[in-house]
């Protein structure tokens, strides 16, 4: 896709502490248009997407979903009915989980915050799949970490990266849907693309790509160090550790707790920490 192709953004009216100003729904192309992340099933928002396509003189022919969270995918099915366009994605909500997270989910580890369990694409896209129209071309990149079924879409030097990278915030990693080890691999993979522009689903474009990716990786490594230091002081659950480590508003503490759990599970794989009992979200942990 050339840099001359028009990109339109329709902002969903779903602002929050986790979504920032709301979900960016991207429209690409002119006559035959692709929509990336139609967002929540809000009729007014989907009407705005249709109006933006009509104003451009085009029609929507492809609906692409980065991942099955409630602020990204539920609008896809209604938009498909409105346009006749197929919905494309990696797979249902549990698709793409790492072997570790699939095992933990099978053992009863609960997650599911904001998951669109009903999401089912009409067309599944494997890593490296190409989707194109007359004046746009997107390559799907499997980018798990925030969620196992997360895809990003590359158009030349721009990557539409969903929730994996944002400029204003770090992303939530909530096991078993999210996986910290996968997240680190995704950051490395995005860096290797040489992309010079990222378009997150929340917030503004990231123009300094390499520094932002390095900053996010360093942030996670620093958080790991904080968790290990806290456990050397005394054992604790993910919630207890989050309360000791994070300085955030009370409403964000559940998300912080899930992030800590993601770190603990990754550290357990390395033998650095041990759960004091059967593994569940509230189990207490000790330094290995």
Banded pLDDT at 112 (limits 50, 70, 90): low
CATH annotation of 217-287: 1.10.10.10
Question: Which pLDDT score is estimated for 110?
Answer: 81
| Residue ranges matching CATH 3.60.15.10 in the chain | 7-207
Per-chain mean pLDDT for the chain = 95
- Is residue 119's pLDDT more than 80? yes
Question: Which pLDDT score is estimated for 2?
Answer: 41
| Residue ranges matching CATH 1.10.10.10 in the chain | 217-287
Beta bridge partners of residue 200, listed in sequence order: 162
- Is residue 66's pLDDT more than 80? yes
- Measured N-to-C along each axis, helices 75-83 and 43-55 cross at an angle, to the nearest 10 degrees, of 40
**67-96, pLDDT tens digit by residue?**
999 999 999 999 999 999 999 999 999 999
- Token pair of 189 as six digits: 């993979």
**216-227, pLDDT tens digit by residue?**
999 999 999 999
Question: Which pLDDT score is estimated for 79?
Answer: 98
Q: pTM of the prediction?
A: 0.95
Q: How far is Cα 72 from Cα 25, in angstroms, rounded to an integer?
A: 8
Domain 7-207: CATH superfamily, name plus number: Ribonuclease Z/Hydroxyacylglutathione hydrolase-like (3.60.15.10)
Banded pLDDT at 288 (limits 50, 70, 90): confident
- Token pair of 48 as six digits: 């705005």
Please state, for a pLDDT cut of 70, what percent of the chain lies above it: 98
Q: How far is Cα 93 from Cα 121, in angstroms, rounded to an integer?
A: 10
Are the C-beta atoms of 207 and 196 separated by less than 8 Å? yes
Question: Which pLDDT score is estimated for 92?
Answer: 97
Spatial neighbors of 54 by CB under 8 A, at least 6 apart, are none
């Amino acid at each position: 896709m050339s840099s001359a192709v028009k990109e339109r953004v329709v902002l969903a009216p779903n602002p929050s502490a986790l979504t920032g100003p709301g979900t960016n729904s991207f429209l690409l192309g002119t006559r035959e248009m692709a929509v990336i992340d139609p967002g929540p099933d809000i009729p007014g928002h989907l009407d705005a997407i249709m109006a933006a396509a009509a104003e451009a003189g085009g029609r929507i022919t492809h609906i692409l979903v980065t991942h099955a969270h409630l602020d990204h995918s539920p609008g896809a099915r209604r938009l498909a009915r409105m346009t006749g366009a197929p919905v494309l994605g990696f797979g249902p909500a549990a698709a793409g989980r790492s072997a570790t997270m699939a095992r933990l989910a099978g053992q009863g580890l609960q997650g599911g915050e904001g998951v669109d369990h009903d999401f089912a694409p009409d067309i599944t896209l494997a890593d490296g799949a190409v989707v194109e129209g007359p004046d746009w071309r997107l390559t799907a990149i499997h980018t798990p970490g925030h969620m196992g079924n997360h895809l990003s879409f590359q158009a030349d030097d721009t990557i539409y990266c969903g929730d994996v990278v944002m400029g204003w915030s770090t992303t939530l990693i909530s096991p078993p849907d999210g996986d910290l080890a996968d997240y680190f691999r995704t950051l490395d993979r995005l860096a290797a693309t040489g992309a010079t522009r990222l378009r997150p689903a929340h917030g503004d474009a990231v123009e300094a790509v390499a520094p932002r990716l390095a900053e996010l990786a360093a942030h996670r490594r620093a958080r790991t160090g904080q968790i290990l230091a806290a456990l050397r002081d005394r054992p604790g659950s993910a919630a207890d550790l989050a309360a000791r480590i994070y300085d955030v508003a009370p409403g964000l503490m559940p998300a912080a707790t899930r992030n800590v759990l993601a770190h603990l599970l990754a550290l357990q794989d390395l033998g650095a920490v041990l759960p004091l009992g059967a593994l569940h979200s509230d189990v207490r942990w000790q330094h290995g």
